[in-house]
Amino acid sequence: MRHRGGVVSSQIGLARIHLDHGDGGAAHALLAAAQSTAESYHDRGAIAVINTLSARYHLLRGDKEAAHICLAAAQDIFKRLGMAQELAAAPETVKHLYRKDTSGVLQ
């Protein structure tokens, strides 16, 4: 069972790196794979993190409505699980996406 958690964590980490570099396509594929695995094992904490990163993905694509839906879902799960630190950090995770430098790399 521990191996699956490591796979999900690795996929989440790689997706985060791709998002940081503006590669939404690669991030989206990794997030979809991580979501599927996390859901099959009812890993709600991982699902919330994936939702937060999915909000970043949607903002990168310019879809603020989808980003808001993902962020709200993440915050709901964090709140239900008592993950106060993650709950507080979730909006900050997507806030920085509104700033880009001239190269297009996310700040």
Q: Give pLDDT tens digits along the chain (107 positions).
A: 455 668 999 999 999 999 999 999 999 999 999 999 999 999 999 999 999 999 999 999 989 899 989 999 999 999 999 999 988 888 877 675 555 544 444 43
Q: What is the pLDDT of residue 104?
A: 44
Give a yes or no: residue 81 inside a domain. Answer: yes
Enclosing domain of residue 50:
2-98
Q: What is the pLDDT of residue 92?
A: 79
Residue 107 makes CB contacts below 8 A (sequence gap 6+) with 96, 99, 100, 101
The pTM (predicted TM-score) of the whole model is: 0.83
Give a yes or no: residue 104 inside a domain. Answer: no
What tokens does 61 get? 């694509």
Give a yes or no: residue 106 inside a domain. Answer: no
Q: What is the pLDDT of residue 96?
A: 59
The β-bridge partners of 94 are: none
